[in-house]
Amino acid sequence: MTTSQHALNVAMQVPHHFLNGADQAGMGAGRSLIDPATEQVWLDVRDASASQLGEAVKGAKGALERWSGAAPNARARTLTRLADLIEARSDDLAAVESRNVGKPLGQARRDVLRAAEYFRFYAGACDKLNGDTIPLGADQTALTVLEPVGVTAHILPWNYPISTLARGAAPALAVGATVVAKPSELTPLSAVMVAQLAHEAGLPEGAFNVICGAGDIGAALAGHEEVAHVTFTGSVATGRKVMQAASVSVAGVTLELGGKSPVVVLDDADLDAAAEDVARGIFFNAGQICAAGARLICQRRVHQALVAKIRERAEAMQMGNPLDDPALGPLASAQQLARVESFVNRAKADGLTCVTGGQRADRPGYFYPPTIFTDVPADAEITQCEVFGPVLVSQICDTPDEALELANGTAFGLVAGIYTADTTQALRFARAVEAGQVFVNGFLKGGDTVPFGGVKDSGIGREKGLAGLAAYTAPKSIVLNH
Ligand code: NAD
């Protein structure tokens, strides 16, 4: 059997929703999932109805006492079992994710293993959530108890469906909160598979629910009065709506939004290392990465040589069916392809210099080749806006100060990188750049135990690492007078 046939066979068995510990068929509108590599329908699914959403939230509320009341080491064992089960099913999960998102199989497998690691990492935190004692004097004792916030909603994007699910659900469950997740309507399957495994691992009925559907279901979930915290990963425009919806019940929000992340290369940098990382940082997953290094900011003396090295790597990337694990898969949807095409076409019409790519691939599927624009002005649309595709823009600077000014010159502030042999320059940049994560001499080489999140329009709140627990924890202060 081919991997493609296998992925389809597994996907056909996946129910489309998981609530209250059981598979459910959708009772809302029907939709077709399109294979991005062939543009053919590969599966028909049905959204959840409004009443199914209500049922999921009610189930999550009902499971709170049992799950949060369990011994912390019992919660830890359950989450560790879930990590083990995800690993054991990683071939199936990766095949389905690869076909659904259009992501090269090796990258999909990596995402699945990352999801398992999130559950393993946060399992380790369950019995270490210590509160504080606060000195108030001899006749008073003050202490804090870390309680779970309650029901948590997780609204997910299509570019990293399984890892964005796990990075929110794992810390929420670790502190004793319960979960209702809504994956993107384009990529619903892996989340439902993880919910089934969570149940198999021993989570109580209702502790981990997945309902599928589009923005209407997402909006209803974000605004549900029983939801205490909404973790949203997606676009800035939708993030604003989610924040508004959550304000009705005064729920907390974590917003992981878009970016236009700068990678600065100073003229004393190791150009081969920088070229390798810049190419990976923008062309990996066909550029559909919130943290993609979409802007190269380079000192004039080395700009031409560096762009040549990046271009060589871009042009060597082979496209192919995601399940054959090529270097580059298709974009995830027709809508995403149209978005990338329109940004690139406007940039070309504005007279910007495109040195490679710049046109949809001549083959079926939503393939778009690695594309590089050079010497692009700071105020160009393609410098300022998130394209969310394999499109790099380079900006030229003369001094490190100018590089910093350009780096901070967009509305976003997710990630930034710098390449230089001068550690003082690197540290000055790292301290002054407006970003939630900064990489020195190794763009995106960090890992999922390092806190992650944005400033400015890139979002609020932090996920990953121990910082990711805070959103799901409500410290209660108790003061005893004696
Ligand atoms: P999107 O905003 O279109 O959709 C995200 C999710 O929100 C989907 O599940 C969608 O169904 C749902 N949704 C749509 N309208 C809604 C509404 N009114 N209320 C509640 N939910 C609603 O984003 P996308 O196209 O799926 O993802 C791409 C974007 O996500 C990019 O901007 C990218 O940068 C960002 N992203 C950010 C991170 C991060 O960690 N910062 C990670 C991945 C993706």
At residue 423 the predicted structure's pLDDT band, cuts being 50, 70 and 90, is very high
**Active site annotation includes 290:** yes
CATH among 3.40.640.10, 1.10.150.120, 3.90.470.20, 3.40.309.10 for 262-446: 3.40.309.10
Query: Of 281, 285, 279, 282, whose CA–CA distance to 313 is shortest?
Result: 279
Q: What is the pLDDT of residues 453-474, one digit of tens each?
A: 999 999 999 999 999 999 999 9
Given the structure tokens 């995402």, which residue do they identify? 111
Instruction: Write out 114-174 in H/E/C secondary structure.
Output: HHHHHHHHHHCCHHHCCCCEECCCCCEEEEEEEEECCEEEEECCCCCHHHHHHHHHHHHHH
**Which pTM value belongs to this model?**
0.97
Tokens of residue 68, six digits: 């949060």
In a mutational test of the pocket of ligand 1, which residue from 33, 100, 238 has the highest number of ligand atoms less than 8 Å from its CB? 238
Per-residue confidence (pLDDT) for residue 471, from 0 to 100: 98
Question: Cβ(211)–Cβ(17) under 8 Å?
Answer: yes
Q: What's the gap in Å between 237 CA and the centre of ligand 1?
A: 9
Q: What is the pLDDT of residues 68-80, one digit of tens each?
A: 999 999 999 999 9
Per-residue confidence (pLDDT) for residue 269, from 0 to 100: 98
Per-residue confidence (pLDDT) for residue 208, from 0 to 100: 98
Look at ligand 1, atom 41, and give the residue with the nearest C-alpha: 256
User: What are the CA-CA distances from residue 140 to residues 130, 133, 145, 431, 477 (Å)?
Assistant: 20, 11, 16, 41, 13
Asked if the domains at 3-256+459-479 and 262-446 fall in one CATH topology, the answer is no
Ranking 3-7, 110-114, 233-237, 333-337 by mean pLDDT, the lowest is 3-7
Per-residue confidence (pLDDT) for residue 420, from 0 to 100: 98
Look at ligand 1, atom 43, and give the residue with the nearest C-alpha: 290
CB of 410 within 6 A of ligand 1: the answer is no
Tokens of residue 437, six digits: 């994560």
Could you give the percent of the chain with pLDDT greater than 70? 100
Q: What is the pLDDT of residues 205-242, one digit of tens each?
A: 999 999 999 999 999 999 999 999 999 999 999 999 99
Amino acid identity at 440: V
The predicted model gives 391-396 an average pLDDT of 98
Per-residue confidence (pLDDT) for residue 222, from 0 to 100: 98
The gap from C-alpha 94 to its chain's centroid, in whole angstroms, comes to 16
Q: What is the pLDDT of residues 355-370, one digit of tens each?
A: 999 999 999 999 999 9
Torsion angle in degrees (nearest 10) through CA of 449, 150, 147, 466: 10
CB of 188 within 6 A of ligand 1: the answer is no
The class of domain 3-256+459-479 in CATH terms is alpha beta
- Pick the catalytic residue: 126, 290, 354, 397? 290
- The b-or-e profile of 113-145 (16+ CB within 10 A means b, else e) is bbbbbbbbbbbebbeebeeeeeeeeeeeeeeee
- Kindly list the domain boundaries of the chain, sorted by start residue: 3-256+459-479, 262-446
At residue 7 the predicted structure's pLDDT band, cuts being 50, 70 and 90, is confident
